Amino acid sequence: MSSQFQTIAALVVVALAVTWLVARAVRKRRQPGCGGDCGCPSRELKR
Amino acid sequence: MALPPHIAGGTGSAPSRTPVYALVGNPNCGKSTLFNALTGLKQKVGNYPGVTVEKKIGTAYSQHGQPITVIDLPGAYSLAARSPDEAVTRDVLLGRRADTPQPDRILCIVDAANLERNLYLVHQILDLGRPVILVVNMMDVAIKAGLEIRIDRLEHELGIPVIACEAVNGRGVIDLKLAMSRADLPLSRHAWDIPAPIAKAVAELQASLTASDGKPPLIARAEALLLLTDQDSVRVAGSTPLSSRTAELLRGWQQRWEGEGTDWASSLVNSRYEAIGRIASAAVTQAGAAGPTLSDKIDRFATHPVWGWLTLGVLMTLLFLSIFTLAEYPMNLIDGAVAALADGVKANMAEGDFRDLITDGAIAGVGGVIIFLPQILILFFFIGLLESTGYMARAAFIMDRLMSRVGLNGKSFIPLLSSYACAIPGIMATRTIEDQKDRLVTILIAPLMSCSARLPVYLLMIAALVPGEQVPLLTKVGIMLLMYALGTFGAFGFAWLFKRTLLKGEPPLMIMELPPYRLPGLKDVMLQMFERGWLFLRRAGTVILGISIVLWFLAAYPKAPDGATAQQQLAQSFAGRAGHLLEPAIKPLGFDWQIGIGLISSFAAREVFVSTMGVVFNAEAEGDDTAPLRQALLAAKWPDGRALFTPLVCFTLMVFYVFAMQCVSTVAIVRRETNSWKWPLFQIGYLTGTAWILSLVVYQGGRALGF
């Protein structure tokens, strides 16, 4: 894997990570809470 | 026995849609255990009151495989709600919530060893005129206490199916499912005499609730009784308000009774208690005189003003000793595997950004956190054991003496206890607190309890505390106990302050049931432990991985000119610049800009500090061999060559993390629970301000003393 290709691949992964984190934060704004990460009721339990 | 006029004889036929059962009962009578047994879900259970503060919905299956919806409701002693969680139960049963279907049928669960007290809620529920199945749970406990519960007699008196059950062992669950599968369930035949002067008020209110509030007649009657005896004052989001006509009518009757000087509300309650007393005396017999139980004997020691504290201290010491000793071997294994993985990637990939992202970003960030998995599992195993045996309620009892002195509500203990795992469920658990000011004080101090996300930070700092050698075991345990005590007593200190300034008020007396000690339910304990472990891994594999990748980018870009050292690269990166920007504020605490990067990133979640240190110091490391994070930290230096992570700096960082509000999810949940931005912003300000001041005192004081 050339150095240039590695740089492009790394930046794509970083962009995907940023997009996912931002989308997650926006979802949380709509439905504040831990999203089940902290052991509070999961969506399966809480409707 | 004459049937009350409001209940027509007959049966409650099966609803045309999927039947909805509500599971209701007093706190700590085994509702959630039964809910799990019926639905196969893994709702948290514990041997103390107040575990469930929200409704939970699951699906059970009848003997014919038909789905049955089951709603697990928070525990309540009566339908006259005193706290937001009890109000949820009341509102669902009375059909006051638009977001929840009114249950077609009700599963009333009672504690066999405390039948008479539990029957008060059952009696109120029978007034609703819905088909009810009574589940007499914990029969084994009642038998051990010398009680004989005559199920057939109870069934005869109430006229509804009564099932004897031991939900924790699964006994009686099949009988219960058979009863739930019945197409027709008989309506209750219970009778009780409403005092004549009240009957008119009940009838008028019932008529108004039916006509103006659209309630079915039987629900309207039950609600009328509740409105007249209560106190039906606690309203929560989702509660539909009374119509103005009904509210006016209610005020009229209350004023009339006040004018007459008669307390008809109490008469109504007494009348109900008399009816319940008759049922209980017919159904329960006590074999011999009741002497002190084994639980009573243990409690003489466990709740003693001196021995009780000693017991708590010994248990906490044992917990932390286990965390350090039992976890060592699996931690070394994980550490070795993480390093081998990073080295393997380095050996098999050409140099470049993508390789660095994998090794210095993803593996260093996530690996730095998952190494603490064994300790998290041990922590939650012990917490689960203490909850399951019933000891946690005793801990609440002991702490209440101290908590009441600082003005804290005794009911604050369970939310604060939950906050040791995570502040979010702790803050949600404050819904059991009736008084709004007490609830707010508890929300404000809950993040001070050392949550499991702080554990990796403490453990990393303790590991780095003594350069070049192993930290003695007792020192590790002592420091860990100190951090937990600092958070707990800090919380009490702030509660004392808030109760005397911002949120003045007298603390109510705590009335808390001490459940009997039980052998721990190992299955539940293990389930809870693995669930917490899974949550920890999931966070590491999602949020922490994402943040580590972004952090790697921020630490690697913009690129320094060719020939720059790793330190120079980091210093001029985006992350380095942010760290440098913060450095003037944190330098008096002994922290440099690299630690500053960790402080900024860990606002997302505290354990991100560890992954950030992994990214920052691995990014800085020269050469291809991956060194353990502890060694990387100990090798870190100030520009003048002084060691960065001295014992004093490590200790100061721990103190900072005890107090700082480093958790964006907690901020969001406080915003939701207080319905305002004022309190979460205040919380960020006072906690982070305290963290800064105390860290300054510790660091500068330590230096003055020659550390």
Residue A42 in contact with partner chain B when CB distance is under 8 A:
no
Alpha-carbon dihedral sign for residues B134, B140, B143, B144 = negative
Low-confidence ranges of chain B (pLDDT < 70): 1-17, 42-55, 190-191, 230-240, 288-290, 410, 467-469, 507-512, 618-627
Domain borders along chain A are 1-47
Between the alpha carbon of residue B4 and those of residues A8, B266, B685, the distances in Å are 79, 21, 59
| Max Cα–Cα distance, chain B, nearest Å | 97
- Domains of chain B (ranges; CATH) run 11-186 (3.40.50.300), 196-286 (1.10.287)
What is the predicted pLDDT for the residue at B656?
Answer: 96
| Max Cα–Cα distance, chain A, nearest Å | 50
Residue A18 has pLDDT above 70, yes or no: yes
What is the predicted pLDDT for the residue at B9?
Answer: 42
Contact: A17, B550; criterion CB under 8 Å? yes
Residue A43 in contact with partner chain B when CB distance is under 8 A:
no
The alpha carbon of B23 is separated from its chain's Cα centroid by a whole number of angstroms, namely 20
| Cα dihedral B41, B516, B290, B142 in deg (nearest 10) | 10
Residue A23 in contact with partner chain B when CB distance is under 8 A:
no
What is the predicted pLDDT for the residue at B316?
Answer: 84
CB atoms under 10 Å from CB of B98, counted, come to: 10
Residue A46 in contact with partner chain B when CB distance is under 8 A:
yes
Residue A41 has pLDDT above 70, yes or no: no
Sequence-ordered list of residues with C-beta below 8 angstroms from that of B205, at least 6 positions apart, any chain: B220, B223, B224, B227, B228, B246, B249, B250, B253
Contact: B352, A6; criterion CB under 8 Å? yes
Sequence-ordered list of residues with C-beta below 8 angstroms from that of B354, at least 6 positions apart, any chain: A1, A5, A6, A7, A9, A10, A13
Q: How many CB pairs under 8 A join A and B?
A: 105
Contact: A13, B357; criterion CB under 8 Å? yes
What is the predicted pLDDT for the residue at B534?
Answer: 86
What is the predicted pLDDT for the residue at B8?
Answer: 39
Between the alpha carbon of residue B350 and those of residues B346, B538, B617, the distances in Å are 7, 30, 21
Q: Hey, of B85, B351, B357, B529, which one would you mutate to test binding to chain A, going by the most A CBs within 10 A of its CB?
A: B357
Residue A19 in contact with partner chain B when CB distance is under 8 A:
no
CA distance B384 to B524: 8
Kindly report each contact of residues B335-340 with a partner whose C-beta sits within 8 Å and lies 24 or more positions away, as own/partner: B335/B367, B335/B371, B335/B628, B338/B363, B338/B367, B338/B370, B338/B371, B338/B626, B339/B367, B339/B626, B339/B627, B339/B628
Residue B539 in contact with partner chain A when CB distance is under 8 A:
yes
CA distance B40 to B473: 42
Chain B positions touching A30 (Cβ under 8 A) are none
Between the alpha carbon of residue B623 and those of residues B158, B341, B566, B620, B626, the distances in Å are 79, 16, 10, 10, 8
Alpha carbon of A38: minimum distance to chain B alpha carbons (Å) = 6
Contact: B57, A47; criterion CB under 8 Å? yes
Chain A positions touching B553 (Cβ under 8 A) are 10-11, 14
Chain A positions touching B349 (Cβ under 8 A) are 1
CA distance B429 to B387: 15
Residues listed for chain A: 47
Residue of B nearest to A16 (CA): B546
Contact: B350, A3; criterion CB under 8 Å? yes
Of the CA atoms within 13 Å of residue B700, those in its CB half-sphere come to 10
Residue of A nearest to B550 (CA): A14
CB atoms under 10 Å from CB of B337, counted, come to: 13
> What does the pLDDT look like over B567-578, one tens digit per residue?
788 888 899 999
B425: nearest CB among A24, A29, A39:
A39
CA distance B215 to B213: 6
Residue A28 in contact with partner chain B when CB distance is under 8 A:
yes
